[in-house]
Amino acid sequence: MKKDFGILLGTFALVIIGVLIMVSQPFENDEPEKVTTANTEPVSEPPAKQQPEVKEYNATWSDDYKGYISEINKVEIENKTLRVYFKFTNNSPHQYSNMVEWGKAVVNKKQIDANFIGSEDVGGEHLNDTEREGFVEYYADSLEDLEELTEVRITWHMLNDDQFEKKEYDVTLPLK
């Protein structure tokens, strides 16, 4: 019985190997199919993607709150993205927590939340005698939200961790 099972299993294995060899080799009379078409036109390259236009505005705003200096020096608009460039310098003896990446922007009467993930790490905890700079991004729902802007309003807040004080910022920047 075991001998019959072994012969049956060996025969089956040989058949499988033979089928695999036949399938992997092309037949002698196999020719590739010829495809013909009428009225063909030369294929043209798709147009190269254009880089999105970046509108850049210089901004000059600053505030000194008890030795903590906040500055905005540039605003950029690219597609549906508004970027505001900040610089924060803590010359005070206190530690501050800046919540700029959780702020808001107002453009054409529409409020847009800051995008924490797309922004650079400019906010957060600022120890004394430190400096941070970078941008915060705000994503608009549509391109029309950022068209023909004459000004942008930015709001955020900051906490003095040592004194338990809160400072609210509400800045309107003219875009020229």
8 A C-beta contact, residue 104 and residue 172: no
Distance in angstroms (rounded) separating the CA atoms of residues 6 and 94: 85
Structural contact between residues 143 and 120, judged by C-beta atoms closer than 8 angstroms:
no
Please tell me the predicted confidence (pLDDT) of residue 143: 87
Candidate ranges 44-53, 68-77, 117-126; pick with highest mean pLDDT: 68-77
pTM here? 0.69
pLDDT (mean) for 19-34: 57
User: Is a pLDDT exceeding 70 seen at residue 170?
Assistant: yes
Percent of the chain with pLDDT over 90: 58
**Does residue 1 register a pLDDT over 80?**
no
Which residues partner with 166 through β-bridges?
159
Q: Which of 126-129's residues contact partners 24+ apart within 8 Å by CB, and which partners?
A: 126/68, 126/88, 126/90, 126/95, 126/96, 126/97, 126/98, 127/90, 127/95, 128/90, 128/91, 128/92, 128/93, 128/94, 128/95, 129/90, 129/91
Contact 122, 73 (CB under 8 A): no
User: What would the pLDDT profile of 114-125 be if each residue is shown by its tens digit?
Assistant: 998 999 999 999
Q: Is residue 37 over pLDDT 60?
A: no
Q: What residue type is 25 in one-letter code?
A: Q
CATH architecture of 56-174: Sandwich (2.60)
Each residue of 138-169: pLDDT tens digit?
999 988 888 888 999 999 999 987 788 999 99
Is the pLDDT confidence value at 15 over 80? no
Quote the pLDDT of residue 16. Answer: 74
